[in-house]
Amino acid sequence: MISNLAAITGIGSVSPYGPLAGLIPPCLLEPESLTAWTTAGPRRAFLVKPFRPASVVPGLKTRRLDRLSAWALVASSLAIQDAGIDLSQLDRSRVAVVFGTGYGCAELTEAFFQSAAANGWRGTDPSPFPEGLANAPASHVALWHSLRGPNITVGSTGFAGETALIQAASLLRHRQADLAIVLAGDTLTRTVYEWYEAAGRLSPACYNSEPLPEGGGFVPSEGVAALVLEPAGRREARAYAQFSSVRWAAGGGVAGGCAADAIRQMLDGSVPSLTICAGNGAPCAPSSVTALAREVGGPSTAIVPAQAVAAGLIDAGGLLHLILALSSRPRKGPALLLGTSGDGGFAAVLLELP
Is it the case that residue 3 has pLDDT exceeding 60?
no
Q: Is the pLDDT of residue 21 over 90?
A: yes
* Local confidence band at 84 (pLDDT 50, 70, 90 cut-offs): very high
Low-confidence winner among 190-204, 312-326, 327-341 (lowest mean pLDDT):
327-341
H or E element at residue 275:
strand 274-277
Instruction: Report DSSP state, residue 191.
Output: H
What is the pLDDT confidence band of residue 284, given thresholds at 50, 70 and 90? very low
Q: Is 27 exposed, middle or buried (0-12, 13-18, 19+ CB in 10 A)?
A: exposed
pLDDT higher than threshold 50 for residue 79: yes
CA atoms lying within 13 Å on the CB side of residue 285: 7
Answer yes or no: are the C-beta atoms of 249 and 343 closer than 8 Å.
Answer: no
Please choose, from the candidates 353, 339, 332, the residue with its C-alpha nearest in 3D space to the C-alpha of residue 242. 353
What average pLDDT does the segment 49-62 reach? Answer: 93
Residue 190 has pLDDT above 50, yes or no: yes
> Would the pLDDT of 50 be above 60?
yes
Higher-confidence position of 231 and 254 = 231
* DSSP state letter for 23: S
C-alpha 32/C-alpha 44 separation (Å) is: 5
pLDDT for position 153: 96
pLDDT at 247: 83
Asked which of 56-65, 238-247, 259-268 is least confident by mean pLDDT, the reply is: 259-268
| pLDDT for position 255 | 44
What's the DSSP call for residue 55? H
Structural domains for the chain = 6-231 (3.40.47.10), 241-353 (3.40.47.10)
Angle at 101 between CA 36 and CA 198, to 5 degrees: 50
Mean pLDDT of the chain: 86
* Measured distance CA(38)–CA(28) in Å, rounded: 27
What is the helix, strand, coil percentage profile of the chain, to 5? 35, 25, 45
DSSP for residue 122: G
Q: Look at residue 256 in the predicted model and tell me its pLDDT.
A: 42
* Weakest mean pLDDT among 22-31, 75-84, 274-283: 274-283
Q: DSSP assignment of 289-344, as one string?
A: HHHHHHHHH-TT-EEEPPPHHHHTSTTT-HHHHHHHHHHT-PPSEEEEEEEE-SSS
More confident residue, 120 or 156: 120
Q: What is the full DSSP assignment across 126-154?
A: -THHHHTSTTHHHHHHHHHHT--S-EEEE
* Percentage of residues of the chain with pLDDT beyond 90: 45
Q: 202 and 220 in contact (C-beta within 8 Å)?
A: yes
More confident residue, 39 or 47: 47
Rounded to an integer, the average pLDDT of 23-35 is 90
Checking if the pLDDT of 244 tops 90, the result is: no
pLDDT given for residue 343 in this prediction: 66
Give me the pLDDT at residue 154, please: 93
